[in-house]
Amino acid sequence: SSAPSLTPTADGQSSRPRRPPARPAPATPMGMAMRPPALVDDAMCEVFTRLPADDPRSLVRAAAVCRSWRAILTDPGFARGYRAFHGAAPMLGFLHNAYRNGNRFVPTSTFRRRASQDRPDCQVLDSRHGLVLLYAPAYELPFDACDLVANKLWEIEAFPKCRDTMHWEDIYEGVLHCNATVLCARDQCDHLDCHGGSPFLVALVGSADEGGIALATAYSSETREWSDKISVGSPGLQIDDGGHTAVVGNKVYVPSYECDSVVEYNIREQRLSVINVPESLDEAHLDLIGAEDGMLLFASVLKSRLYLWSMEAGPRVSTFRRVLASDEAARAVVGAGTTV
């Protein structure tokens, strides 16, 4: 580049040096739009929070756009806010125990289980609070707690102190004669973000082979040990090893085969209690279907009518009340089945 020149004036004196003309800005190629300003992270977090919870594929695609978006979506704070905004987690799929073919995952959304997570040699025992409890009698460590979303697995050893609860004498040990429940162990947890290694508990509630006695023990992922076996007696009591269980706080509720009682297992206090069903319901087959807002929920069919019941259990008394009956209950059950 040439040095700036001095321009002489009329009186022979030189003026200030003349600067070279500024270079023109490069022309924008035809059809190329100007790049929009980047959105701040707070605004993008609000946008991502409103993505539908039953379509996790949209979150994965957004995380693949750029590093800043991935940082927002993988931040633990975003997961907590996302769950708080949408409430209860949607049903992404269910695990089905196929006859003589292990288990298989049946998706009900865009979520897919990794092929490496398939365990055809395992039986699914329970699923709750982001964990799936698997049972494989052929392995030295028969129990597995699996987080399908975080792709983590914890092996659980069956110590001798829990074998009396698991099996009956003179019967093939591969047959599990107890009800197993997995649940989060964190105190005062809202269970909106129980993933990636939160402490958990596994409760086994069974009955002695002669009947009339319920047995229980619990495993803690923090201590990696089973608790001492406890028991409670009740005439004719026989635990339903395949029945649906319910969890309220640190208490596990397990149904019996005769459906005339429910066993309450208080894991923290290591206490078993038997809750009897009122006599007015003895002629109906009462099924424990879950818990909501600290209430146990039951369903029964009597004389071609469907009934939904709730139970509030206190320290010394349990109160049953009918919630819905007949067509109202049927519509509620169908509605619940289509929204989860």
Where is the domain boundary, 67, 85, 103? 85
Could you tell me whether strands 246-248 and 251-255 are parallel, antiparallel, or unpaired per DSSP bridges? Answer: antiparallel
In a domain, 108, yes or no: yes
Residues 257 and 232 in one domain: yes
Q: pTM above the 0.95 mark?
A: no
Query: pLDDT grade, residue 338 (50/70/90)?
Result: very low
Average pLDDT over residues 274-301: 73
Query: pLDDT grade, residue 331 (50/70/90)?
Result: very low
Task: Tell me the backbone φ, ψ of residue 8, rounded to 5 degrees.
Answer: -75, 145
In a domain, 27, yes or no: no
Residues 218 and 331 in one domain: no
End-to-end CA separation in angstroms for the chain: 73
Residues 100 and 212 in one domain: yes
pLDDT digits (tens, 9 = 90+) for 110-159: 777 665 556 677 888 898 888 889 888 777 778 888 887 777 888 888 77
In a domain, 242, yes or no: yes
Residues 268 and 132 in one domain: yes
- Residue % of the chain over a pLDDT of 90: 15
pLDDT of residue 290: 80
Residue 332 pLDDT > 50, yes or no?
A: no
Query: pLDDT grade, residue 175 (50/70/90)?
Result: low
Where is the domain boundary, 276, 301, 322? 276
Residue 256 pLDDT > 80, yes or no?
A: yes
In a domain, 81, yes or no: yes
Task: Identify any residues that bridge with 308 across adjacent strands, giving them in sequence order.
Answer: 299, 324
Residue pointed to by tokens 């619940």: 336
**Environment class of 93 (CB within 10 Å of its CB; exposed 0-12, middle 13-18, buried 19+):** middle
In a domain, 31, yes or no: no
Query: pLDDT grade, residue 204 (50/70/90)?
Result: very high
pLDDT digits (tens, 9 = 90+) for 42-95: 889 999 999 988 888 888 899 999 999 999 998 888 988 888 898 777 777 888
Q: Side-chain half-sphere of 49: how many Cα atoms within 13 Å?
A: 19
In a domain, 29, yes or no: no
CA 180 to CA 241: how far, in whole Å?
Answer: 8
Distant-in-sequence, close-in-space partners of 174: CB < 8 Å, separation ≥ 6: 137, 138
Whole domain around residue 209: which residue ranges? 88-276
Where is the domain boundary, 276, 294, 322? 276
Residue pointed to by tokens 């105190």: 187
In a domain, 306, yes or no: yes
Average pLDDT over residues 227-243: 86
Query: pLDDT grade, residue 265 (50/70/90)?
Result: very high
Average pLDDT over residues 305-311: 78
What's the whole-number average pLDDT of the chain?
Answer: 75
CB atoms within 10 A of CB 97: 13
Residues 78 and 92 in one domain: no
Written as one letter, the residue type at 14 is S
Residues 130 and 184 in one domain: yes
Residues 259 and 123 in one domain: yes
pLDDT of residue 275: 84
Task: Tell me the backbone φ, ψ of residue 240, rounded to 5 degrees.
Answer: -80, 100
Residues 56 and 140 in one domain: no
Residues 222 and 293 in one domain: no
Of residues 233 and 321, more confidence is placed in 233
Residues 78 and 93 in one domain: no
**Environment class of 37 (CB within 10 Å of its CB; exposed 0-12, middle 13-18, buried 19+):** exposed
Enter the tokens of residue 130: 């982001």
Task: Identify any residues that bridge with 322 across adjacent strands, giving them in sequence order.
Answer: 309
Residues 144 and 192 in one domain: yes
Average pLDDT over residues 181-206: 81
In a domain, 64, yes or no: yes
Number of compact structural domains in the chain: 3
Residue pointed to by tokens 């190329």: 32
Query: pLDDT grade, residue 272 (50/70/90)?
Result: very high
Of residues 266 and 190, more confidence is placed in 266
Query: pLDDT grade, residue 334 (50/70/90)?
Result: very low
Residues 249 and 139 in one domain: yes
Number of H helices, E strands in the chain: 6, 19
CA 299 to CA 50: how far, in whole Å?
Answer: 35
pLDDT of residue 220: 93
